[in-house]
Amino acid sequence: MCRFVWSLKWACLAVLATSLSANAAEPLRLHPENPRYFEFRGRPTVLVTSGEHYGAVLNTDFDYKKYAATLEKYGFNLTRTFTGAYCEAAGAFNIEKNTLAPAAGKLICPWARSTADGYAGGGKKFDLDRWDEAYFARLKDFVAEAGRRGVVVELVLFCPFYEDSQWKISPMNAANNMNGVGKVGRNDVYALKEEPLTRAQHALVVKLVTELNAFDNLYYEICNEPYFGGVTRAWQDGIADLIASTEEKLPKRHLIAENVANKSKKVERPHPKVSIFNFHYATPPETVAMNWHLKLPIGDNETGFRGDGDFVYRSEGWEFLLAGGSLYNNLDYSFAVGHEGGTAKNKAPGGGSPALHAQLKVLKNFIHSFDFLRMTPEPGVVKGGVPRKGAVHVLAQRGREYAIYVRGGEQTKLVLDLPSGKYRATWLDTKSGSTAGEETFDHPGGERTVASPGYREDIALAVRRE
């Protein structure tokens, strides 16, 4: 009995020590050796995921524990979620099973309900002077569950109102709160035009940042797609400053992201507190080269509107990361209420499936198999063999290792410019992750042709000096 008691005691102490260690861990940060990439829990990290449509917390019907377990199953290390300051009505953007559109009575957000009837989405109005503690318990449990699974949470603080239907159901609309705050049009919500509304937004940021400070698996994005809906530069800068100043009084510091543009744009005069620059639908990945001068992480954190085939989103991820990007999030509509394992057949403007999850796991494992901190985009390595109407992307540490992705064609003979040495070339099936072909060769230096096996749609190649 005594031995059992001591064993139990030490087991409990071990669990406690593990919990305290995780709580004390430094949050996701820029890697000190190469700030274009991340360091998470002591390891160089590229963030890769195929995540749900941002309603995991605000939609109480959504089983986020099962969802987090699914992300872990595929080795994903990122998810993106909205706070609840913005939500959508059923049918928005032609998404049939939309996690951002909770059923009646299933929306939970940071502000508590009042005793007054009249919320446009059903139920009581909101009180912007009181917090909903049940919401913050759910939010913190979500972040903790993700952390246990090795998943980083991108918490998106705000989102513009694309249509009147979204502003109509926002708690920040004066019609939906008992405080009379938000007597503006939807294009003036994030424009510093109503002081009480700005105060409510700032109070929310301070509350969120304070409540979540202890977590290491977290960073903040100021606003989703601020290039719509009248979001001003001054408002965004104010939120970035507020996050930073709030954390100056707290133990931990978290990274701040800005969503720059759809497709591509050169970042001019970046805010000094912003460390991550995210883009949507960033294919081809030209925005990485355009912003290479920043020496900071460049992300493609929303895809879609390219049909529902696996190839288009798989290839977008491969091309973006091998162009030097450090974050890829496929917007995945196979996650829905009742389908938190990613199995939904969803009518939506994008894709997602268990097959795509497995394929993106191959991408994540591939990029993490390299010493990517010391690699840079090197398209000049390829001197020939690019498939017609296709593309080749190369991330390389010249003379040591080369990560190469080929899109298009069915077979290729890549002509590579390599320094002298002995090399192993391994072709990888991007769908299964299996080795499709391999050869070793002694090379005197200069051009060398490496022939691929047959493939369909795309293939990857790892060339390493022996």
| Helix/strand/coil percentages in the chain, nearest 5 | 30, 30, 45
State the distance between the two ends of the chain, measured CA to CA, in whole angstroms: 56
Distance CA 133, CA 112 (A): 8
- Positive/negative CA dihedral, 266, 79, 86, 204: negative
pLDDT at 14 over 70: no
Average pLDDT over residues 165-169: 97
Distance CA 39, CA 47 (A): 10
Residue 420: left (phi > 0), alpha (psi -120 to 50), or beta? beta
Q: What confidence score (pLDDT) does residue 68 get?
A: 98
Distance CA 206, CA 283 (A): 35
Average pLDDT over residues 210-237: 98
What's the CATH fold of domain 375-465? Immunoglobulin-like (2.60.40)
Cite the DSSP H helix spans in 284-382.
286-290, 310-322, 354-368
Angle at CA of residue 16, ends 10 and 20, nearest 5°: 140
Q: What confidence score (pLDDT) does residue 24 get?
A: 58
pLDDT at 399 over 60: yes
Looking up tokens 């309603």, which residue turns up?
A: 55
- Positive/negative CA dihedral, 44, 46, 48, 54: positive
Distance CA 324, CA 36 (A): 8
pLDDT tens for each residue of 270-324: 999 999 999 999 999 999 999 999 999 999 999 999 999 999 999 999 999 999 9
Distance CA 426, CA 370 (A): 13
Q: What confidence score (pLDDT) does residue 22 get?
A: 45
Determine contact, residues 383/418, Cβ cutoff 8 Å: no
pLDDT higher at 19 or 89: 89
Q: Where does residue 3 rank: exposed (0-12), middle (13-18), buried (19+ CB within 10 A)? A: exposed
pLDDT tens for each residue of 312-334: 999 999 999 999 999 999 999 99
pLDDT tens for each residue of 442-461: 999 999 999 999 999 999 99
How far, CA to CA in Å, does 437 sit from each of 117, 349, 411, 424? 66, 36, 12, 11
Cite the DSSP H helix spans in 25-169.
64-73, 133-148, 164-168
Mean pLDDT, the chain, as a whole number?
Answer: 95
pLDDT tens for each residue of 429-438: 999 999 999 9
Average pLDDT over residues 77-96: 97
Angle at CA of residue 9, ends 5 and 15, nearest 5°: 145
pLDDT at 12 over 80: no
Average pLDDT over residues 224-231: 98
Task: Report domain extents, the chain.
Answer: 22-373, 375-465
Looking up tokens 């390219």, which residue turns up?
A: 306
Q: What confidence score (pLDDT) does residue 31 get?
A: 98
pLDDT at 17 over 90: no
The superfamily in CATH containing domain 22-373 is: Glycosidases (3.20.20.80)
Distance CA 273, CA 220 (A): 11
Domains 22-373 and 375-465 share a fold: no
25 pLDDT band, cuts 50/70/90, is confident
Angle at CA of residue 215, ends 211 and 219, nearest 5°: 90
Determine contact, residues 190/232, Cβ cutoff 8 Å: yes
Q: What confidence score (pLDDT) does residue 19 get?
A: 41
Distance CA 46, CA 372 (A): 9
